[in-house]
Amino acid sequence: MAKEFLPGMRKDYGKDSLTKESVHPDPMMQFEEWFKAAMKSDGDEANVLTLSTLGEDQIPEGRIVLLKFYAEDGFTFYTNYSSNKARQLERHPYASMTFHWKSQERQVRIKGSISKVPTEISDAYFNERPLGSRIGAWASPQSQEIPDREFLDDRVEEIQEKFENQNNIPRPDFWGGYLLTPVKIEFWQGRPSRLHDRIVYDLVDGQWATKRLAP
């Protein structure tokens, strides 16, 4: 294994800048502006984010999930309610989301509390998913140990047979959405010489307050 730094891996940033005066007073509006820009540059990968949760052993765990909805009240992703992350969220209903929009030289970090979205909203989203993903949700005991790939293929076949004569595959009750209600959102814009711009919004007594942090 190489026992040296990775000297060539250094990129200087300088596409844009950020000030307390230039950001929107409402962080959700600021998020929307950046998300739209990211959709233009990163296409259907703009909604990729790292979700961090707290393990029972008090060690944080991160994994990628997809943002499926955002509105004034927060940010929604979908998953298996019996998965490792879901068990962690049941125990400790707080999480953080981190977006990295490489081509924009931007990062957004969000933290807040977690709740399940209403079942009718999960139903509506599930029904929009492609057939293969709907079957996949039924077939996969997410985060559980399985013997081999064949186990999954057999599960898919079983599920296909189970719903063979039904027009509609219903949402399994072990699968659905979580809403993260933010209490803090940080916008990070890369700047030259690692002197980046960081503007943080904190929710204080129901109002968003902004401050600039050193990079």
Ligand X SMILES: Cc1cc2nc3c(=O)[nH]c(=O)nc-3n(C[C@H](O)[C@H](O)[C@H](O)COP(=O)(O)O)c2cc1C
Binding residues for FMN: 63-68, 78-79, 85, 107, 142-143, 188, 198
Judged by beta carbon, residue 101 or residue 208, the one nearer ligand X is 101
Residues annotated as catalytic (active site), given as ranges: 194
Q: Does 64 bind ligand X (CB under 6 A)?
A: yes
> In the bound complex, what is the minimum distance in angstroms from residue 18's beta carbon to ligand X?
27
Strands 60-71 and 74-80, sheet pairing? antiparallel
Report yes or no: 120 and 181 within 8 Å, Cβ to Cβ.
Answer: no
Neighbours of 134 (CB within 10 A): 21
> In the bound complex, what is the minimum distance in angstroms from residue 214's beta carbon to ligand X?
32
Tell me the torsion sign for CA atoms 70, 72, 74, 78: negative
Q: How far is CA 98 from CA 51, 118, 127, 168, in A?
A: 7, 24, 27, 35
Per-residue binder mask for ligand X (CB under 6 A), 13-52, x = binder? -----------------------------------x----
The count of chain residues that interact with ligand X, using the rule CB under 6 A, is 13
Q: Does 126 bind ligand X (CB under 6 A)?
A: no
Q: Does 75 bind ligand X (CB under 6 A)?
A: no
Planar angle of CA 111, 116, 119, nearest 5 degrees: 150
User: How many CA atoms, within 13 angstroms, populate the side-chain half-sphere of residue 132?
Assistant: 1
Q: Does 210 bind ligand X (CB under 6 A)?
A: no
**Sites of contact with ligand X (CB under 6 A):** 48, 63-66, 77-79, 83-85, 142-143
